Amino acid sequence: MEFNFTTYEPQKRTMAKKIETEVEVKTNGRIAFNKSAAALLENKPYCMLAYDKDNKAIGILPTDAKDLNAFAIRHTNRGAYVGAKKFLNDTGLLPGANVAQAPVKAGQYIAVKL
C-alpha cells in the first residue's frame, strides 16, 4: 500500500496588528479609541464632547473634573471608549455605518471627522 503524504503547514497570520492611531465612531453610539489613540486621552477619567455640524466632526476634550455635561471614559486593555449615543443622536452625527478615522489634535480637543 502506498501513501501520498502532504506535510501540514499551519496558515500564517494574515491580519497585521493595527498599530496606527484610530478612533472609531460606531452606530451604537460608542466612540472607541484603539490603544495608541487612547494615549491622547492622557488617562483622564472624563471628557467633554463638542461638535462642528458644518464639517461633520466631533471634538473630545479629556478632563479630570466630573462636570454635569462630562462623559465617562472607560479605559480597557485594548484602548478606551466613551458611550455617547445621546450626544450623537441630539447633534445629528450618529453615523449610519461605523466610521474609523485617525484623530487630529485641534487645540485642546481631539478631533474626529465623520
Q: Is residue 77 part of a domain?
A: yes
Q: Is residue 52 part of a domain?
A: yes
Beta bridge partners of 39: none
Instruction: Check: CB of residue 103 under 8 Å from CB of residue 40.
Output: yes
In the chain, the number of structural domains is 1
CA atoms within 13 A on the CB side of 7: 1
Q: Is residue 18 part of a domain?
A: no
Structural domain range at position 77:
23-113
Q: Is residue 14 part of a domain?
A: no
Alpha carbon distance 101, 45 (integer Å) = 22
Sequential pLDDT tens for the chain (114 residues) = 788 888 888 777 666 565 788 999 999 999 999 999 999 999 999 999 999 999 999 999 999 988 899 999 999 999 999 999 999 999 999 999 999 999 999 999 999 999
Q: Is residue 5 part of a domain?
A: no
Whether the full predicted model's pTM is greater than 0.95, yes or no, is: no
Q: Is residue 99 part of a domain?
A: yes
